């Protein structure tokens, strides 16, 4: 196959940041995706509908008029999120989900949840209103090996949570392990997962190939080859529980290439093309459209998009860097190539 035409996809896990970073990256996503779930881990975090509405406006101001792009806003769950915050969010039609960061788990998560039990009133309200909980599924704490944090989270947090709230919609974000794939497959249809391009394509060897590779450092961290295979198989299986979420997370080059570098991979520049290449490489192009354009919308009770887009098999170079103010961003697969290209 030399071309593929699909319904324009959505990105169900995206970090756009704010200010100059937002204006630098927003159109990369808008060129490829109709809608995106916008993660609320700004500083300060987006904790109520008013803040989300203001942030949505700032995003739309940065999007080129030629794109018909809709940011799908989320709130940052804290120990103090009230039932009225949930109710206002649900009634507003602006808020599509809440994001649960265990405190200290990742970028800008220090105001995250310290104990999930603190949020039970809020979760109950979400369950009543049908608002999904988006989960960064890693335990924190130095007693757990960094490669085991997702698997331990399933046992310690997720299984009890699902038992207490069987009707709550939960998206296990950016899954990285066979344990997570198995958990999602064995759970009810309330439980789904997003899958990033890096967790389909890379394993933990890629963190150390020829030297330390800071641009492959993201959270949850890349896992072993068996886990990567499980994640790749899930993404390309045609199971509607698994859908596209890039977790594209821009950080400046300075913040990545330093003695204590930030977690996050910036994939938005070529995300869709890279997913297409990944599906093609395992002979599963026929499963791409549903993963990218149907299952996420269906899960979120959104209409499927109407617009179509075409990708062509044509090798393109991925730039080494692009400017962000007086700094730079190093995109995913910088300096490499991608064998598929969006038709302009």
Active-site annotation, residues? 247
Sign, Cα dihedral of 199, 7, 28, 250: negative
**Site of tokens 């269906």:** 298
Distances (CA, A) of 281 to 116, 223, 286: 40, 20, 12
Q: Which is nearer to Zn ion, 140 or 314 (CB)?
A: 140
| CB 74 within 8 Å of CB 142 | no
For ligand NCD, which residue of 74, 106, 267, 293 counts as binding (CB under 6 A)? 106
Q: How far is it, in rounded angstroms, from Cα 187 to Cα 269?
A: 33
Closest CA to 96 of 45, 35, 43, 137: 35
Judged by CB under 5 A, does residue 10 bind Zn ion? no
Q: Which is nearer to ligand NCD, 5 or 43 (CB)?
A: 43
Closest CA to 179 of 155, 161, 163: 155
Interface pattern 235-264 for Zn ion (x via CB under 5 A): ------------x-----------------
41 makes contact, choosing from Zn ion, ligand NCD, none, with CB < 5 to 8 Å by partner type, with ligand NCD
Q: How far is the CB of 175 from Zn ion (least distance, A)?
A: 12
Q: Which is nearer to ligand NCD, 185 or 263 (CB)?
A: 263
For ligand NCD, which residue of 42, 72, 125, 219 counts as binding (CB under 6 A)? 219
Q: How many residues lie near Zn ion (CB under 5 A)? A: 1
Distances (CA, A) of 258 to 106, 213, 335: 17, 11, 20
74 makes contact, choosing from ligand NCD, Zn ion, none, with CB < 5 to 8 Å by partner type, with none
106 makes contact, choosing from ligand NCD, Zn ion, none, with CB < 5 to 8 Å by partner type, with ligand NCD
Q: How far is the CB of 105 from ligand NCD (least distance, A)?
A: 7
Closest CA to 225 of 250, 207, 247: 207
**Site of tokens 């300075």:** 254
Cis previous bond, 75, omega within 30: no
Q: How many residues lie near ligand NCD (CB under 6 A)? A: 11
Binding region for ligand NCD (CB under 6 A)? 15, 41, 106-107, 136, 218-219, 247, 249, 263-264
Binding region for Zn ion (CB under 5 A)? 247
């Amino acid at each position: 196959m030399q071309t593929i035409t699909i319904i324009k996809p959505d990105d169900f896990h995206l970090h756009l940041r704010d200010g100059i970073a937002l204006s630098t990256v927003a159109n990369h996503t808008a060129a490829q995706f109709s809608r995106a779930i916008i993660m609320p881990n700004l500083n300060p975090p987006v904790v109520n509908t008013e803040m989300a509405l203001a942030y949505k406006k700032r995003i739309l101001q940065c999007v080129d008029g030629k794109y018909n792009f809709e940011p799908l806003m989320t709130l940052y769950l804290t120990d103090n999120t009230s039932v009225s915050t949930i109710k206002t969010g649900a009634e507003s039609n602006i808020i599509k989900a809440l994001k649960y960061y265990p405190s200290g788990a990742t970028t800008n998560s220090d105001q995250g949840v310290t104990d999930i039990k603190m949020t039970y009133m809020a979760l109950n309200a979400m369950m009543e209103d049908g608002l999904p909980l988006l989960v960064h599924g890693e335990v924190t704490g130095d007693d757990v090996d960094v490669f085991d944090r997702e698997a331990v989270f399933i046992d310690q947090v997720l299984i009890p949570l699902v038992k207490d709230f069987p009707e709550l919609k939960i998206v296990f974000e950016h899954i990285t392990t066979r344990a997570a794939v198995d958990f999602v497959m064995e759970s009810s249809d309330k439980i789904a997962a997003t899958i990033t391009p890096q967790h389909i394509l890379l394993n933990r060897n890629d963190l150390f190939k020829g030297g330390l590779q800071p641009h492959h450092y993201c959270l949850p961290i890349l896992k072993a080859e068996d886990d990567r295979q499980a994640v790749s198989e899930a993404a390309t299986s045609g199971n509607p529980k698994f859908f596209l979420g890039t977790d594209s997370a821009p950080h400046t080059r300075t913040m990545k290439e330093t003695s204590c570098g930030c977690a996050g991979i910036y994939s938005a520049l070529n995300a869709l093309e890279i997913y297409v290449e990944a599906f093609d490489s395992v002979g599963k192009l026929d499963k791409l459209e549903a993963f990218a354009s149907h299952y996420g919308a269906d899960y979120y009770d959104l209409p499927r998009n109407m617009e179509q887009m075409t990708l062509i098999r044509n090798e393109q170079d991925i730039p080494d860097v692009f400017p962000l103010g007086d700094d730079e961003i190093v995109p995913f697969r910088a300096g490499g190539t991608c064998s598929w290209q969006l038709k302009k």
